[in-house]
Each structure stands twice: as C-alpha cells, then as structure tokens.
Homo-oligomer: A and B are copies of this chain.
Amino acid sequence: MLTLNRLDRADAQLLVSGASARAAEIGVPMCIAVTDESGNLLAFERMDGGKVTSITVAQDKAFTAAAARKATHEYNQACVPGNLVFGIHTALGGRLSVVGGGLPVLVDGEVVGGIGLSSGTPQQDMDCAQAGIDHFLSQRK
C-alpha cells in the first residue's frame, strides 16, 4: 500500500487566492484551476473577464503539471519538431498541455497537486501560477 499526501480544500483556496491576487495586480483577469496530485480538479475560479477557452486550458495545464509531475513550460521546451518528445502535445486528446502556465505543487519534494492559469500571455500565466504557489507555501498551516 502506498501512502501519499494531497492538497485539501483549504490548500486549494490558498493557491487560487494567491494566483488571483497577482492576476488582479497585473490587471489580467484569469481562469485558475487547481488539481490534486492525480490531476483531478479541486478548485476553479474564472475572474470577471477570464476567457471561455481558458476554462479548459487552465484545467489541462493544472492536470498536466500534477499528473506528469512537470511544469508545462518544460514540456514546451522539449516539444519541438525533431525532438523525440514532439507530439506529446496532442496526447490524451490534446489534454496534455505544453503551453506555459501549469506548475506542479510540491511539499517536501512530493507532488501534492497542480495549478494552471490561462487568459494572459504564457509568461503572465506562469507568473500568476507561481504567485499562487508562493502564497500557499507561506500561508499553509
């Protein structure tokens, strides 16, 4: 039997609030998704003005980051024609996202969830995803 740790509801809310605070700060309304360590959705929030397409993209980024235990922008760097990783972006019906903005959430070196942001540039999405993690790590009990 394996024993593992997983974000709870309060953890997920910390991630969302940290990310949404940063998104408000930079003036970009976002879709924010948080999943558990298996990639299943724990919390989701569309800020006023967040894009409809981003509802799915944010979830896919969070899913990928948690379930593959890798930031989506790292997949992006490897997923170039001629690299053997190329094509991973169409796996799982395209649900495996290689667009920047999905980060695994680690506690004590273990992936306990994932966060995905979408609606800004990938750089803005990544920045806000990281802000969510920073807030979570500093505030969690």
Residues in A lying within 8 Å of B, measured CB to CB:
1-9, 11-12, 36, 38-48, 51-57, 60, 64, 66-69, 73, 75-77, 79-82, 84-94, 96-100, 107, 112, 121-123, 126, 140
Contacts and interface: CB of A to CB of B under 8 A. Distances in A.
Contact of A2 (B6, B44, B76, B97): B6
Nearest to A96: B53
B82 A80 contact: yes
A81 B79 contact: yes
Contacts of A6: 1-4
A89 B87 contact: yes
Given A1-B5, A2-B7, 4 more contacts: A1-B8, A84-B121, A84-B122, A86-B98
A78 to B, nearest CB: 9
Nearest to A119: B68
B1 A107 contact: yes
Contacts of A84: 73, 76, 99-100, 121-123, 126
Contacts of A66: 52
Give the 9 A-B CB pairs with smallest separation, nearest first. Answer: A84-B122, A90-B94, A84-B100, A87-B98, A52-B67, A44-B44, A87-B89, A80-B81, A38-B38
B5 A11 contact: no
